[in-house]
Structure 1
Amino acid sequence: MASASEAGSGWHHGAPFKYTEGMLGDDRACWHDCGVDLHFSTIVIGQKIIDGGTERKGVISASYDAQLYLDTEKLGWWKNGYALLRLEGKTNDDGVNLFTGALVPVNFDAAVPVPEGKDLEATEWWYSHVFLQGKLELLGGMWDIGRFYDLSPFSGPYHFRFLNAHMFFNSTLLPWAPYNRLGALALAKPNDCLTITTGVADPGSSAIEVDWFEDGDWDLLQEWRAIVQPFDKDHPTQLGVGAAYRKKNQPLLENPGQTRSSDWTLWGNFNQWLYKDPDNPTRSIGLFARVGHTDGKINNIKNHYSLGVTFEGIARTRQYDVFGIAGWYNKFSKDSFIAQKGNSSGIELFYNFRVTPWLQITPDLQYLIGPALDPDVNETFVVGTRFLFLL
């Protein structure tokens, strides 16, 4: 079962988010020992806008995700090599995002890899190699920013927790985050408590179209993540700070006829284990917070703040269930076309039931205040249920 209770969750070299159950649990364990990890999941999400929004809309959407991850040493090829191929596709995946009046999607799964896309796409393909006894890793190819930056073990990954895109990444990262990057990464881990991630990517490339830096523009992403123990070893704190810089001519919000050659954002992450069961890693309580800042000249969002808490396996009879509640606040740039709203905020609640090792059902409630895109929409109330099937 996917668990975020370990302090190092998500800090290894971008392997698929691993789970041990599913329809092929025993087979998967055998494949893993041979150097092959296979992740296949199908998500069906039903959502309905029951109040507010631009339209009272109800939609059932579906998507599928296949990830093949190879360990070259276990395969008998060479040491310290890892490769991943990921395919994603959709069926009737319109979602309710267009009808909420919100700038940030309330259903992240319906927004990636391409809004309203239906074809099976190779959304990730990369190879990485580890050096210096695991202290340095170099990676190249097409990679998902959510594997390496702005990580929060209590708000993600989105398959298992929140639906709203606010919880998957910092909203000031919108120009960088959705969602695939062509380029290279260097992950340095000088000790067990610190990870330094540096990436160079092509802003003109995506899973749908790759231009191999032909336009001469580039992104630079840098993040430092550390685990500290201000209280005791059972209540660690995970801290992260990062910056993204884009070298590319982009229109200014104040005057789209003028351009500026660069843009940037800064962000910070805070994750605190409030409770960890020393005898059962599936039981924990975690607090998370995000902050983000831009100058608002190109990015519609000037400041982002979010705060949430998740309860994992707290009920002894439901040790794999997860409950979460989170809220967010966005302050918009005064130069943006949505500046008349000034700000927007919202709250989301979910409860993830693990019905069987291969089926999870997650009721979800979202309340949006001042969603942003339509000045006539003051609030939107969305209800939904996610069905996650694990092979």
Structure 2
Amino acid sequence: MTLPHRELSSPAMDPTGGASQGTNLILHGGQITVPVSISPQRDKEPTLRLGLFNALLLLGTGLIPNGDVRAQPLSVPPSETSSLSTRPRLLEDEWRAELPDRGIDIEAWLTQFYQGAVAGDGSRQWQYGGKGDLFVTFNGEKLGLWPGLSIAAHLELLYGDGANAMGNRVLLPVNTALAFPRLGGSDQDLSIVVSQAFSERVSVSFGKFNMLDVLANTPLLGGGGTTTFMNTALAAPITGVTPPYLVGANLTIRTDPIIWTAFVYDPRNAQDSDVLTDPFSEGMTGMLSATIPYQIAGRSGFFGARAIYNNKETTDLGDVPGLVLPQGSSQFIGTRKGSWFVGASFQQYLVQNPGNPLEGWGIFGQVGISDGNPNPIEWSAILGIGGTSFLPGRNLDRWGVGYFRYSLSSDLRDGLASIGVELRDEQGIEAFYNAAVTPWFSVTADLQVVRPAVSDASTAVTAAVRTKIAF
């Protein structure tokens, strides 16, 4: 992931426990320079590991597009919207119900998190934070423009703290909703996408995309960190070549039996204002995906494949040891141009309600491989099971259990091993149960067990309670 210019400082500790000179990690459009000046009598290892750990996280977070721009909640019959306990949203008044007929649809969510470490490195103090989401969609035809036009805006606001900064030494954020847009240096962001459907089979979209929205509609796995899984490895699977916010355009063509999507976008994170004012100045990313829906014994599923390539010039991971050499050595750090990723995914319902295809549960999986340099993620795999509740009468509940494994670049591992920093695959398991107290208010219990990528880090066990209100 390419982030806007951001400086991160972390103090190193000498053997006596005193703070030594800090290490500044500066990111400039994908080129990383780490000026370090450390006295030889002091212990460099804590600073180097923390700085490189942050670098890996910022380099490696790119999201895979898959699905529609908005996640749709399970529906509740209109006759049941009058009661507070059965209405789909807390503020379900007459004026709200009339807005879609006038061409405006408004959704608002407040998601709160209380999360902390049960075991592993770092602090045991639990953190409280939250995220507000406001979605506004305009229907062009109903507003007096032309058929097929729609404009979707998403404003997100973060507050408080999360378990992502508790020193557990995991590579991937344990709380996706509180990681973005914060990793880009801001607690707020606005995305706007303009779409035009030419027919039921052909549509185009362009603008600034929030890729968590794109991912959130996947039936079994989706949720964007606010409804289902919380760990980024599962909530927003990583490619290393797609930023969390991007400027671009896509074309979707629905044929029988394949749905084709072509996507062209700027490889940089669109939280950087330069991406909006000077798009594609540092390269371009192209993605082609194919999705094949199918049914087995009347239960729906899909198989998807995608290929992504960009021509951006990025740091050569084989030269990463140069990042921790004395100031001025950055001139020896090389670059590579171009990076690719290919992946495949599937989902299959094992139990499905014939009357409502969104109700049911099943299995899902995904695998991906990349060039491994400059992409810091060489290969990845996830596998899990989940969906709506298997308990009678709890059709609005969600549950899931997922396993993930991310393998870092061999060039990166070898380079860091030469300076005494050993890395391994990061892998873990997450389980959650999301109980719908009412259709508009839910409470989730979540547990994650992660073996961090840093080889001498302890297994991190993180627990969380999450609540979500749909206004």
Same fold (TM over 0.5): yes
Structure 2, unaligned runs of 5 or more? 1-65, 76-87, 321-332
How far apart are residue 29 of structure 1 and its match? 3.8
Residue equivalent to 2:139: 71
Moved more, 21-30 or 261-270: 21-30
> Does the C-alpha gap of structure 1 residues 108 and 247 become closer, same or farther in structure 2, counting only changes over 3 Å?
same
How far apart are residue 19 of structure 1 and its match? 5.4
Identity percentage over the alignment? 24
Q: Say if 2:395 is the partner of 1:319.
A: yes
> Does the C-alpha gap of structure 1 residues 11 and 121 become closer, same or farther in structure 2, counting only changes over 3 Å?
closer
Alignment check: 8 A CA contact 1:82 1:127 kept? yes
Residue equivalent to 2:251: 186
CA distance in 2: counterparts of 1:390 and 1:188, whole angstroms: 32
Residue equivalent to 2:376: 300
Query: CA offsets per residue over residues 350-386 of structure 1, 9 Å max, x none?
Result: 00011122211101000002x11x4321310000011
Query: CA offsets per residue over residues 41-76 of structure 1, 9 Å max, x none?
Result: 111111111101333342111111111111111223
CA distance in 1: counterparts of 2:409 and 2:216, whole angstroms: 22
CA distance in 2: counterparts of 1:320 and 1:311, whole angstroms: 10
> Does the C-alpha gap of structure 1 residues 303 and 205 become closer, same or farther in structure 2, counting only changes over 3 Å?
closer
Q: Which of 214, 224, 229 is the equivalent residue of 2:290?
A: 224
CA distance in 2: counterparts of 1:284 and 1:378, whole angstroms: 37
How far apart are residue 116 of structure 1 and its match? 8.0
Q: Say if 2:281 is the partner of 1:199.
A: no
- Alignment size in residue pairs: 372
Alignment check: 8 A CA contact 1:282 1:313 kept? no
Residue equivalent to 2:89: 22
Q: Say if 2:469 is the partner of 1:389.
A: yes
Query: CA offsets per residue over residues 292-315 of structure 1, 9 Å max, x none?
Result: 101211122211111011141321
Structure 1, unaligned runs of 5 or more? 1-9
> Does the C-alpha gap of structure 1 residues 32 and 16 become closer, same or farther in structure 2, counting only changes over 3 Å?
farther
Q: Say if 2:215 is the partner of 1:136.
A: no
Residue equivalent to 1:91: 159
Alignment check: 8 A CA contact 1:304 1:330 kept? yes
Moved more, 312-321 or 83-92: 312-321
Query: CA offsets per residue over residues 70-98 of structure 1, 9 Å max, x none?
Result: 11112232111010111111112443345
Name which one, 1 or 2, has greater alpha-carbon Rg: 2
How far apart are residue 148 of structure 1 and its match? 4.4
Q: Which of 338, 342, 361 is the equivalent residue of 1:262?
A: 338
Residue equivalent to 1:7: none
CA distance in 2: counterparts of 1:96 and 1:290, whole angstroms: 24
Alignment of 1:1-391 (within 5 A): 11=67, 14-15=69-70, 17-18=72-73, 20=75, 21-25=88-92, 27=94, 28-115=96-183, 119-122=187-190, 124-131=191-198, 133-148=199-214, 152-158=218-224, 159-171=226-238, 173-177=239-243, 179-191=244-256, 193-211=257-275, 212-213=278-279, 215-229=281-295, 231-232=296-297, 234-256=298-320, 257-281=333-357, 283-337=359-413, 340-369=422-451, 371-372=452-453, 374-391=454-471
CA distance in 1: counterparts of 2:177 and 2:312, whole angstroms: 28
Pick the structure with more helix per residue.
Answer: 2
CA distance in 1: counterparts of 2:92 and 2:74, whole angstroms: 9
Alignment check: 8 A CA contact 2:216 2:223 kept? no
How far apart are residue 250 of structure 1 and its match? 0.4
How far apart are residue 194 of structure 1 and its match? 2.4
CA distance in 2: counterparts of 1:120 and 1:152, whole angstroms: 24
> Does the C-alpha gap of structure 1 residues 214 and 176 become closer, same or farther in structure 2, counting only changes over 3 Å?
closer
Moved more, 103-112 or 27-36: 27-36
Superposed CA RMSD? 2.3
- The residue type equivalent to 1:331 in the other structure is S
Pick the structure with more strand per residue.
Answer: 1
Residue equivalent to 2:11: none
